[in-house]
């Protein structure tokens, strides 16, 4: 059973942003600090990637663990309206896969950074995550990221 009213839950869910989220802003700031330049929310690319690095032919998706069904402690199936949420979340997962496949087919390197890699982490832990991303960008070989 939910601990808030349906109206309050609806208001809370409606307030969740789809772009310019806190994890995304942290990643962008750190990439910029390291000298990487990028574009945002490419409307012409499948899935509208959060960060586009044309020089490296790479796109970065910063995914929320709940909305994209990440296998981590931040994802739990909702206990109410289970069928609605199952359809919604599995639809997101299928759309994500389709968009990644389209981007890869067009020669883009696709990287996904999950919310759990950033949320409630120290600066040093976040910095290590961005270091891995930077290393992947500078690596000329194609690296598969899930």
Q: How far apart are CA 141 and CA 51, in angstroms?
A: 20
- 15-73, pLDDT tens digit by residue? 566 678 889 999 999 999 999 999 999 889 999 999 999 999 999 999 999 999 999 99
Task: Quote the CA–CA distance of 93 and 17 in Å, as a whole number.
Answer: 18
- Three-state SS for 40-69 is ECCCCCCCCCCEEEHHHCEEEEEECCCCCC
Amino acid 13: pLDDT: 61
Q: Are 47 and 96 a contacting pair, CB within 8 Å?
A: yes
DSSP run (H or E) holding 30: helix 22-33
Whole-number pLDDT of residue 15:
57
pLDDT of 2 over the 70 cut: no
Q: What is 17-138's CATH number, 3.40.960.10, 3.40.50.300, 3.40.47.10, 3.40.50.970? A: 3.40.960.10
82-134 pLDDT tens trace = 999 999 999 999 999 999 999 999 999 999 999 999 999 999 999 999 999 99
- Kindly tell me if the per-residue pLDDT of 146 is higher than 60: no
DSSP, collapsed to helix, strand or coil, labels residue 109 as strand
How distant, in Å, are the alpha carbons of 52, 65, 101, 110, 139 from that of 62?
A: 11, 9, 17, 11, 20
Single pTM value for the model: 0.82
Q: How many Cβ atoms from other residues are within 10 Å of residue 12's Cβ?
A: 10
């Amino acid at each position: 059973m939910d601990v808030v009213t349906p109206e309050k839950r609806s208001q809370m869910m409606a307030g969740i942003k789809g772009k310019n989220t806190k994890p995304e802003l942290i990643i962008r700031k750190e990439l910029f600090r390291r000298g990487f330049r990028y574009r945002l929310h490419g409307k012409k690319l499948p899935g509208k990637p959060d960060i586009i690095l044309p020089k490296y032919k790479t796109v970065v998706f910063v995914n929320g663990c709940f909305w994209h069904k990440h296998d981590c402690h931040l994802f739990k199936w909702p206990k109410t309206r289970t069928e609605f949420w199952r359809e919604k979340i599995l639809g997101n997962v299928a759309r994500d896969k389709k968009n990644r496949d389209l981007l890869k087919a067009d020669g883009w390197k696709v990287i996904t950074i999950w919310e759990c890699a950033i949320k409630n982490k120290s600066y040093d832990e976040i910095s290590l995550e961005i270091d891995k991303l930077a290393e992947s960008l500078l690596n000329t070989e194609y690296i598969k990221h899930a």
